[in-house]
């Protein structure tokens, strides 16, 4: 699953009852690591808010 691609996240959690977000990208050089991590979580929460009975646990 590519955490930067919303379509990849949708495909990975399709039909899931829950998601445990345990992974984190390893980015050695970035000016704003919080912004990058926030976008990954936003993609997961967006999927869960689409009316699916999917729970995201971080």
Over the stretch 4-55, which tens digit does the pLDDT of each residue have?
777 887 788 888 887 777 766 666 676 776 666 677 777 766 665 565 555 6
Number of separate domains in the chain: 1
Cα 41 from Cα 57, distance rounded (Å): 10
Whether 1 is covered by a domain: the verdict is: no
Whether 33 is covered by a domain: the verdict is: yes
Q: Name the 3-class secondary structure at 25.
A: coil
Task: Locate 16 and state its tokens.
Answer: 């899931």
Q: Residue 15 is part of which domain span?
A: 6-57
Task: Locate 4 and state its tokens.
Answer: 């930067």
pTM of the complete model: 0.42
Which phi and psi (to 5°) does residue 2 adopt?
-95, 110
23 CB-near residues (< 8 Å, 6+ apart)? 3
Whether 34 is covered by a domain: the verdict is: yes
Whether 46 is covered by a domain: the verdict is: yes
């Amino acid at each position: 699953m590519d955490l930067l691609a919303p379509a990849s996240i949708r495909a990975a959690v399709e039909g899931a009852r829950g998601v445990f977000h345990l992974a984190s990208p390893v980015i050695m050089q970035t000016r704003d690591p919080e912004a990058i991590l926030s976008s990954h979580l936003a993609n997961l929460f967006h999927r869960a808010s689409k009316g699916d009975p999917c729970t995201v646990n971080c």
